[in-house]
Amino acid sequence: METKNRSLFIIPCCKSKASGGQTHRSFADPLQDLIPQRTYRELLSARKLVLDRIREDPRYLREKYEPNSHIENGPEFGTFPPTGQYLPAVRRYVGNLYHGHPALADSIERHLDNPNKPRVLILSALYGPLHPSSLIQDYNLQISDRPAYKPWKKNFPVFLEEYVRGSGIREIRLYLGGSTTYLKVAAAAVELLKREGLVDRVVQYDVKNGNSYRTPTIHGRLALAHLEGRTDQQAEDAVVTIEL
């Protein structure tokens, strides 16, 4: 008898992104079918709030943030038609977490429709929670940046509760750096789930002697091994597993 995997992996977005993309005549976000429509509308509103805050502050439109000046209003912000240049989230991000050797991104795509594999959510500074297949535009923003932190600290717990309820998730694994704002946002959300008894186990993998290269590289290797049901002993030895 086939049983569904009830684990959820949460991974962060990354600074390195593929540019460009395609304009789509039709637009569907897989998340729309995984949470109540009310919650999905709240997610779109939170994304639009972050985008509006970016546009209101010139600091987030120039120099390293220059890609933000090209973001178009689109369905992922609650506006039609989709006029921006889009790529699936798992292909937009091209940093060490996603494209080590072998590539986590390839494995995520390969197992997307397999009910016996864990589900994966990407936590993005602009978009908040993303399905790996969610279509997104190019941008540059950290969740610690002023436009992003408060909206996602408020909205992500609401989203995650509905996602967990609807998907029957009982275990959550956080491949997030121990000192990052991404973990702060996620930890606040999973704390609520634990308190309400909606999940049995939450773990975070803290990379020993982590840095901007080592942390995503180890997290990518570890998540890949866990997704494929095998052991990467070097990656396991490089982390401290923390029960939250």
pLDDT digits (tens, 9 = 90+) for 57-112: 999 999 999 999 999 999 999 998 888 999 999 999 999 999 987 799 999 999 99
Parse the chain into domains and list their residue ranges. 7-243
Query: Mean pLDDT in the chain?
Result: 95
pTM score, whole prediction: 0.96
Q: Is 63 left (phi over 0), alpha (psi -120 to 50) or beta?
A: left
At 39, is the pLDDT very low, low, confident or very high (cuts 50, 70, 90)?
very high
* Closest to 40 measured CA to CA, from 3, 73, 76: 76
How many Cβ atoms are within 10 Å of 68's Cβ, its own excluded?
A: 21
- The 3-state DSSP class for residue 50 equals helix
For position 1, what pLDDT does the model report?
35
pLDDT tens, position by position, 117-171: 999 999 999 999 999 999 999 999 999 999 999 999 999 999 999 999 999 999 9
Of all helices (H) and strands (E), which one includes residue 135?
A: strand 135-136
> For the chain, how are helix, strand and coil distributed in percent, rounded to 5?
45, 15, 40
